[in-house]
Amino acid sequence: MADARPSRRPDRIAVRGLTAHAFHGVYEAERQLGQTFHVDAVLELDTAPAAAGDDLERTVNYAELARALHSVLTGEPVGLLETLAQRLADVCLVDPLVDAVEITVHKPEADLGVPFDDVTVAIRRERT
């Protein structure tokens, strides 16, 4: 017999457009000169307990999250956006309230040799 309970879409907290000048990339010029990166983080969690008690301790403090993500973004350079995205996701999943996270890293100044608007890598990770 199928479960009669309706499926509930998870609540989400998003920090979008977090921006920093950083030195990620596989090319030497990227490592020396750096460029602008943007990050979007969308966290899935149950916000009902926080809402019921109007209690910041029962949800994700997005100001603290933004600072932690910014620290990773401006921290140790990596070659691949995939690696950077994983590091950012790991920061989000440290919080036991977070069930899953989607990270998108934007690299709008990448050198592709042709005109373009943006390059992104997006990953989704769930708590295991």
Residue 4 region by backbone torsions, left for phi larger than 0, else alpha for psi between -120 and 50, else beta: alpha
- Which SS3 state, helix, strand or coil, does residue 4 take? coil
7 catalytic residue (yes or no): no
Q: Which helix (H) or strand (E) holds 91?
A: helix 81-93
Contact 13, 69 (CB under 8 A): no
Q: Which helix (H) or strand (E) holds 72?
A: helix 62-73
Task: Give CA–CA dist 118/48, Å, rounded.
Answer: 36
Pick the catalytic residue from 107, 119, 124, 125.
107
- Distances in Å between the alpha carbon of 50 and those of 6, 11, 45, 105? 22, 12, 11, 29
- Active site (catalytic) residues: 107
